[in-house]
Chains A and B, each alone.
Chain A
Amino acid sequence: MNAMTGSWLRVGDINDIPRRGARCVKHGDMTIAVFRTHDDRVYALEDKCPHRNGPLSQGIVHDGCVTCPLHNWVISLETGRATGADEGATTTYPVRLDGTTILLSLKPAKVD
């Protein structure tokens, strides 16, 4: 059950996600990966690496970034952009915490 709070959807509790880990939220054909960093920040990105669609939710989370499991691109959780010399970006979604409840919006954050 996903209660609605305005355009924010309740998708789970922060303790459902391991620190430095991710869980998936399915929405039709699309999968959104919700990440939790070591200091309990949460981020949401489409679960698709800009390189070759690797499932970012399966990567290693470190320092505000996730390393894609397929070919090791490092994607910023904040901006969805590839870091280093790689170029590309994945869609990010607004996500926030209400206490320990994770709220997600399905309106993609603006990508410029």
Chain B
Amino acid sequence: MAKDKLVIIGNGMAPGRMLEHLFEKAPDAYDVTIFNAEPRVNYDRIMLSPVLAGEKSYEEIVIHGDGWYAEHGVMLYKGHKIVEIDRTAKTVRSEHGEVAPYDKLVIATGSMPFVIPVPGHNLPGVLTYRDLDDVNAMLLAARDGGDAVVIGGGLLGLEAAAGLMNQGMKVTVVHLMPTLMERQLDTAAGYLLQRELESRGMTVLTKANTKEIVGPDKVRALRLEDGTEIKADLVIMAVGIRPNGILAKEAGLDVNRGIVVDAHMRTSDPDILSVGECAEVSGICYGLVAPLYQMANVAADTLAGDASRPFKDSSTATRLKVTGVNLYSAGDFAEGEDREEIVLRDATAGVYKRLVLKDNKVIGAVLYGETADGPWFFDLIKNGEDIAEKRETLIFGQAYQGGSPLDPMAAVAALPDEAEICGCNGVCKSKIVSTITSKGLTSLDDVRAHTKASASCGSCTGLVEQLMALTLGDSYNPAAVQPMCTCTDLGHDDVRRLIIAKELKTIPQVMQELEWKTSCGCAKCRPALNYYLVCDWPSEYADDYQSRFINERVHANIQKDGTYSVVPRMWGGVTSAAELRAIADVVDKYAIPTVKVTGGQRIDMLGVKKEDLPAVWGDLGRAGFVSGHAYAKGLRTVKTCVGTDWCRFGTQDSTGLGIRIEKFMWGSWTPAKVKMAVSGCPRNCAEATCKDVGVICVDSGFEIHFAGAAGLDIKGTEVLGLVKTEDEALEHIVAVVQMYREQARYLERIYKWAKRVGYDEIRRQIMEDDERRKAYFDRFVFSQKFAQVDPWSERASGKDKHEFKPMATLSLEAAE
């Protein structure tokens, strides 16, 4: 029998969750087709603000990747907006003319940002805040700095404002009401919030009514009713949302503010359901995910023919996702005749807490500055518990209940089983605890994967970790010696020591002697072992390419579409007309789509087809280029400035030294990547003080720095010491890198290793112990004999051919 056809309009968070439940409950009931106006998969809209603030990437907030749709046989039309529902024919039609028949239809069109129709509202530079395109447009606008004005001081407006400020813009928030976030906060908390944001450099104007956006060609300024004019290069309107019921209305369904549905998410047409922000149930439209997820579950039930769990209104809690600001609000906190309140303020600590009570029950809570008790209060609100007995200590939070103060762990222990830990995904304590026990979970990531707790906005991560500690007891100890991977109980340091002590010289030998628990290791331990062996036995060990990550195996960086990028060395960042011409020719010849100057003073060619790599390298090699190892846990770049060659401040030949170091050290493998720089004077134009190793040239010689970072972490370098000559500089630099090569754990950058070993210890060995320094230097020089071979020219002349060619190409007829 053919399956019923389920068509969904909109691919936001609500229908995504609905499908997850449907596939669990009735996996084979429907053929599912989704039309989404946004040209992408389902992502976590809540997390757009961290993306805007630069704290997360789009990839990290995808909920269902393409594979998920493929796996469930879902046909997803990206970038297809539905323009008509024909209820008689039971079909929908997209703007591109695609027509799809349905047996059941779900409308999940979300909502649209409200735009105040003041003059100038459609000038270039006026944006709303709803989807990834908006975020990308804001990030683009923020690149040039400038002034941004955000209209609306609610949750979205403030998150946008904080994000833009993070991106370096000067930000003013214009808010109509007297205090910020008046829907979630009372005036006291609104004031504290405003003060905090202002102290960070944001300008906040309350009781401010926008009259006009000033052009004429693009946004130039914003004019308020009282005549004030605020300079603006970018205006964000975040003044509210409107449920998107247009399609439903045109199809003749009942639509008020939103699309009217019953407690089972059915619209006025029994074959059409609606979920999400566009739906209106019992007269209410919702704008937070918790109730939308409940709608999603109910709709999945309905589609599976189960009517046992109708939608129930429940209060929701909100947090503001601005890093460093803690606020939490839940329930109803308006003042009233029949209500009492309990307030706690701690001015020095910037804490404000207020509970609203009615008939001895908590009905609302606003917390500012300290929000750990939020979920506990929220629980009291939801359960309607009588609090007469704990009234005296209630405001101090859960830890104070039952006499003496408890530690935070005890507080978590005392939470009832049904206490909600993750508000976004509605995960309660018992679910987390029982999943940890039944599935034997040991890491936060596991818990996220299996329960979804802390997997959306992440604000409950601390609680989840406490629960893990509670459940796993001593065995959950994030600081314990980490085994390399699940194939062994030994940590990296032990393995390194044993490789030398027992003279282990091949991967199988290591695994045998150190009693590996798997037959041939895994993708974590094999690359590490391969590096340790390359480093410790340079002349004897035969590199095991099958244990290298693809980039190091084929000497290029894999891209998200399976093509590769090619970055040749440009010694010290210096190039020539001939080199540039050769690059231009290669780009033309192989139709390479993108050529980019990297952050490491050289040129990246991106989007090269794998089959073309050897030929590309062959051509580059003829022009004198060698591999830049942009893919390697090895020496990457040595950035330089122009130094005494040209600069009026230069004290030494920084360019020359940089080139010398790069030519001396290229090709060496290291535990993690190594980046260096040489600046000609303390103005430091080569940014040497955030590198793994850096040199600042001064009149009296060369100041050597190490252990800096500017990637996932930012850390200024430590000074290793001052030396007089270039030769000495080279020797010291090489020695410290060799020390790192011999001691660090695989994937550990220099700054982490140095912190672990101690800066003083490193200084002592490299600066004071001449003999030891010399020995490190010599060992490096020895290993370079085997490492300094250009991998590109080897492959251009045929090595590892199998990596670049298919084994067979089948003719299409063969398949018949």
Contacts and interface: CB of A to CB of B under 8 A. Distances in A.
Interface of A: 2, 4, 9, 11-12, 16-21, 23-28, 31, 34, 38-39, 49-55, 58-63, 67, 69-70, 72, 74, 84-89, 106
A16 to B, nearest CB: 5
Nearest to A62: B522
B802 A23 contact: yes
Contact of A70 (B545, B558, B809): B558
Among A38, A58, A59, A84, the most chain B Cβ lie within 10 Å of the Cβ of A58
A24 B554 CA distance: 15
B67 A52 contact: yes
B806 A70 contact: no
A62 B62 CA distance: 28
Contacts of B347: none
Given A16-B807, A53-B67, A60 B812 contact: no
B546 interface: yes
A27 B527 CA distance: 32
A11 B807 contact: yes
Given A50-B71, A60-B526, 11 more contacts: A2-B810, A19-B546, A23-B807, A24-B806, A25-B809, A25-B810, A28-B815, A38-B519, A51-B65, A52-B67, A58-B553
Given A38-B519, A70-B558, A51 B810 contact: no
Nearest to A18: B546
Contacts of B71: 50, 87-89
A27 to B, nearest CB: 4
A25 B811 CA distance: 11
Top 5 A-B residue pairs of the complex, sorted by shortest distance between their CB atoms: A85-B449, A67-B523, A23-B807, A50-B67, A58-B550
Given A51-B67, A62-B520, A106-B810, A17 B802 contact: yes
Contacts of B450: 85
Nearest to A53: B66
Interface in B17-65: 65
B527 A60 contact: yes
A19 B508 CA distance: 13
Given A20-B520, A88-B71, A61 B806 contact: no
Interface string B541-554: 00001111111011
B250 interface: no
Nearest to A13: B807
B67 A55 contact: no
21 contacts: A2-B814, A4-B814, A20-B546, A21-B802, A23-B807, A25-B808, A27-B815, A50-B68, A53-B562, A58-B562, A59-B523, A60-B527, A60-B548, A62-B526, A63-B519, A69-B549, A69-B551, A74-B523, A85-B446, A85-B449, A88-B68
Contact of A58 (B449, B519, B558, B808): B558
A58 B549 CA distance: 8
B70 interface: yes
Contact of B547 (A23, A39, A60, A69): A60
Contacts of A67: 522-523
A26 B810 CA distance: 6
A99 B407 CA distance: 68
A53 B548 CA distance: 21
B560 interface: yes
B65 A52 contact: yes
Contacts of B527: 60
B810 A24 contact: no
B550 A63 contact: no
Interface residues of B, number: 39
B521 interface: yes
Contact of B70 (A11, A17, A50, A60): A50
Contacts of A87: 71
Interface in B517-574: 518-523, 526-527, 545-551, 553-554, 558, 560, 562
Contacts of B812: 27-28
Contacts of B815: 27-28, 106
Contacts of A23: 802, 806-807
Contact of A2 (B65, B518, B548, B811): B811
Nearest to B527: A60
A28 B812 CA distance: 6
B808 A26 contact: yes
Main secondary structure of the interface of A (DSSP, over half): loop
Nearest to A12: B807
Contacts of A20: 520, 546-547
Interface string B783-816: 0000000000000000000100011111110110
Contacts of A16: 802, 807
A91 B768 CA distance: 61
Nearest to B812: A28
B807 A69 contact: no
A63 B522 contact: yes
Nearest to A20: B546
Contacts of B554: 58
Contacts of B520: 20, 38, 62-63
B808 A2 contact: yes
A17 B806 CA distance: 11
A19 B802 CA distance: 12
A11 B518 contact: no
A60 B562 contact: no
Contact of B806 (A25, A49, A88): A25
A69 B809 contact: no
A26 to B, nearest CB: 4
Contacts of B546: 18-21, 60-61
B807 A59 contact: no
Contacts of A38: 519-520
Contact of B810 (A11, A49, A70): A11
A106 B558 CA distance: 28
B66 A69 contact: no
Contacts of A24: 806-807
A73 B558 CA distance: 16
Nearest to B544: A20
B455 to A, nearest CB: 11
A109 to B, nearest CB: 15
Interface string B585-617: 000000000000000000000000000000000
Nearest to B808: A11
A91 to B, nearest CB: 10
A70 B807 contact: no
A63 B554 CA distance: 22
B65 A59 contact: no
Contacts of A12: 807-808
Nearest to B450: A85
Contacts of B549: 60, 69
A15 B185 CA distance: 69
A89 to B, nearest CB: 6
Interface in B478-525: 518-523
Contacts of B547: 20, 60
A88 B521 contact: no
A62 B518 contact: yes
A8 B809 CA distance: 15
Nearest to B518: A63
Among A72, A85, A106, the most chain B Cβ lie within 10 Å of the Cβ of A85
A92 B547 CA distance: 24
Nearest to A105: B815
Contacts of A50: 67-68, 70-71
B526 A26 contact: no
Interface string B352-377: 00000000000000000000000000
Contacts of B522: 62-63, 67, 74
Among B66, B68, B562, B812, the most chain A Cβ lie within 10 Å of the Cβ of B562
Contacts of A39: 519
A55 B803 CA distance: 13
A69 B446 CA distance: 20
A70 B810 CA distance: 27
Contact of A88 (B67, B446, B550): B67
Contacts of B558: 55, 58, 69-70
A89 B73 CA distance: 12
B511 to A, nearest CB: 11
